[in-house]
Amino acid sequence: MGFLVFLVAIIWFFVMYKLYGDYIAKKVFKLDDKRITPAHELEDGVDYVPTNKWVVWGHHYTSIAGLGPIVGPSIGVIWGWVPAFLWITLGTIFAGAVHDFSALVISMRNKGKSIGEITAKIVGPRARYLFFIVIFLELWIVIAIFALIMGILFNMYPSSVFPVWMEIPIAMLLSHMVFKRGKSLDKWSWIALFVMYLTIFIGVFVPIKLPGNAVVIWLMIMLVYSYIASILPVETLLQPRDYINAHELVVAIGLIAIGAVGALIASPQHLAIVAPSFNFHAKGAPSFWPFIFVTISCGAISGFHSLVASGTSSKQVDKESDAKLIGYGGMVSEGILAAIVILAVSAGIGTDASTKSAGIALWNQHYASWATASGLGAKIGAFINGSAKMLSYIFGRSAYMQGFVTTIMGVFIVSFAGTSLDTATRAQRYIVQEFGKDIHAKWMTKKHPATLIAVVSAFALAMAAPNGKGALILWPLFGTVNQLLAGLALLIATVYLIKKKRHYLVAAIPMVFMILMTIWAMVMNIQHFGKTHNWLLLTIGIIVFVTMLWLIIEAILAIVKNYSKSGVSKEAEEFD
């Protein structure tokens, strides 16, 4: 049953990528390779670099993924595997992929500027500053929290430290061989992946654990790393490392699928779904409506993706037709990963049980309540545990091979987290530079001061609480802020399509749904913050809520203004 559900998801994603993806690309946005992309128009060898579409896909996919499609579904399944599965499969195709693709294409048609900067032309100048508040807050939390998560993961999986850091020289060697010496990308990327897996074997024997407060030390190291990585030319580290990580996904999907088949052959009960189909009243969990749509973000739809699409990816696209694979296909790839996670935490977690009822007991033990399932260790543990049990049908169950399997999955997770960290830092640098240009602060438009603002502000947030956990103070707001950003990005896409006289409902329908769910969740959160006297979160929550409403009003005014004119607006013409 578990493998069948996963197989249905894979078929669904590939069919809809072809059908709905083609419709969005050809009929709605009308991609045209005659247009010059920002990568060519503004090529600078650092940020704007025309690149092979598969390399950009690898960067985009691994940047938007991070830990999102793992932690979200790993806890969202507490409400039942059916609603989690439906939201992932339907949300990815009709909301998330449309959102990512729209942000990418609109940015490409506006010199690779961020979705916040584009807002000024599509909606109005006031909206730009409102959007800046939301975007800066989102990336501020992301950078601080991912630096912390990297520290926690390195502490949890010390055998992953050596292989993860060895990715850097391996990626730089790949860059040298492909971009400097013109060698085969396919050949050398697989060689790089093979070498990386050799380092995993070494990592099992050479775990690296720092003394003292290891998490804080790693946090500081990761912030220094993100500063350096985010100012290097994209061809030097970002593109080759992300391309290697994308290959990791292919290997991980293949291994888990083979392991699942092995479990199925051994006994059909070994891959039975042990999670409940529906569990709307899980102990201690918030209301199913609307919080499942906030909890499962990456893997269905996430506002962070619009920042990657309009921040880094749009500056690397060689020609417009590549945008379908990168924007729409990148999100579909993330949906596939989320489906794997559902398989691991709803079926894989019980594969070594003697009976299905014993497997159900194992699931209930892990998901006894919201509190037991909501911590980072619990989320990651559920996925690692379920995946490792399926992989044991390939690698066996000896202590060493179990350590090897755990390290494979640990490196997979940590690598994706690291990609999201330095991509977020680079995107925050772009945001600060654009803001500096808008307010005529020339020093803010320079690369190093802008990056310093991004990193130092994140460090200040992290250290606002003991052990670098300052970002966790704002974490309860992150889910709603992230999904608010997704709704607003779709709102910008809707206004853009209305001005262009295109089929705007493809963006408008998911936009209305996401904004309604987010408003609902934000109101419930604000009420909770008030009842618990959490004045900081209450204040920030109200500010974000008012900002969201203001932006919606600005967008409505822009739409009304557009309908008061005939033909395509002057503002819309600027984008074609």
CA atoms of 66 and 71, how far apart (whole Å): 10
Structure tokens at 88: 């992932």
pLDDT of residue 135: 87
Q: Environment class of residue 374 by beta-carbon count within 10 Å: exposed (0-12), middle (13-18) or buried (19+)?
A: middle
Q: Tell me the three state secondary structure of residue 535.
A: helix
Collect the ranges in the chain with pLDDT lower than 50. Answer: 566-575
Q: Tell me the three state secondary structure of residue 1.
A: coil
Half-sphere exposure in the Cβ direction for 373 (13 Å, CA): 28
pLDDT of residue 429: 93
Between the alpha carbon of residue 273 and those of residues 4, 269, 373, 393, the distances in Å are 10, 9, 18, 17
**Nearest C-alpha neighbor of 332 from the set 7, 1, 13:** 13
pLDDT of residue 168: 93
111 dihedral zone (left: phi>0; alpha: psi -120 to 50; beta) = left
pLDDT of residue 375: 63
Q: Environment class of residue 233 by beta-carbon count within 10 Å: exposed (0-12), middle (13-18) or buried (19+)?
A: middle
Beta bridge partners of 317: 51
Q: Environment class of residue 563 by beta-carbon count within 10 Å: exposed (0-12), middle (13-18) or buried (19+)?
A: exposed
Beta bridge partners of 51: 317
pLDDT of residue 2: 63
Residues 6+ apart with CB under 8 A from 27: 503
CA atoms of 247 and 238, how far apart (whole Å): 14
**Taking the chain, what is the end-to-end CA distance rounded to the nearest angstrom?**
48
pLDDT of residue 569: 45
φ and ψ of 278, to 5 deg? -135, 140
Between the alpha carbon of residue 405 and those of residues 98, 166, 256, 402, the distances in Å are 35, 18, 11, 5
Structure tokens at 484: 């608010």
Domains of the chain: 2-573 (1.20.1740.10)
52 dihedral zone (left: phi>0; alpha: psi -120 to 50; beta) = beta
pLDDT of residue 228: 93
| pTM for this entry | 0.86
**Nearest C-alpha neighbor of 28 from the set 92, 111, 94, 113:** 94
